Structure formats: structure tokens, C-alpha cells
Amino acid sequence: MNNGQSIVIKGEITGAEDLVIAGRVEGKIKLDGCALTLAPGSQVIGEIAAGTIIVSGTVEGSLVASKRLEAKSTAEID
């Protein structure tokens, strides 16, 4: 799944497949054992739990990766 740059999602996202976020998410993201990629320019405000988390955007909240956490040079994590 992929959401575009102009998309704003408010609420909880759960699932069992990989996800790419290019827009804004306000809420919890939980992807059991799957990969979450935050594209450059993306913004997440909330908790994130996934197998692999790759951050190129902005995150305000906690990050829990069961396999791998990668912060690119464009990442901003608070």
C-alpha cells in the first residue's frame, strides 16, 4: 500500500503487509513483522511498531522495530 503526499490519515493503521507513507499520519501504526517506509517529506505523529522501519521523513513519537530500524540522512526523529 502507498499513500500520496497530499493524503492525511487520522487514526490507527494496522495490518500485515508492507506500507509506504508519503503523506501525513496522525495516530498509531502497527504492522506485524512487515516493513514501513516513510518517504522524504512524510510526517508521522504517533507510535510506530513494525518489523522494519525506514525513515526518510519526520517522526514525532516512539519507534519499535523487531528486525531493523534505518534512519536516512533526511530523517527527523523526535
The pLDDT value recorded for residue 5 is 73
Q: What b/e string do you get for 14-48 counting C-beta neighbours within 10 Å, with b at 16 or more?
A: eeeeebebbbbbeebbbbeebbbbbbeebbbebeb
Please tell me which residue, 7 or 13, carries the higher pLDDT value. 13
pLDDT over threshold 70, residue 1: no
Q: CB neighbours (10 Å) of residue 12?
A: 12
The pLDDT value recorded for residue 15 is 95
> Between β-strands 13-15 and 24-26, what pairing exists: parallel, antiparallel or unpaired?
unpaired
pLDDT digits (tens, 9 = 90+) for 14-70: 999 999 999 999 999 999 999 999 999 999 999 999 999 999 999 999 999 999 999
Tell me the chain's radius of gyration from C-alpha atoms: 11
The pLDDT value recorded for residue 2 is 62
Per-residue pLDDT band at 8 (split at 50, 70, 90): confident
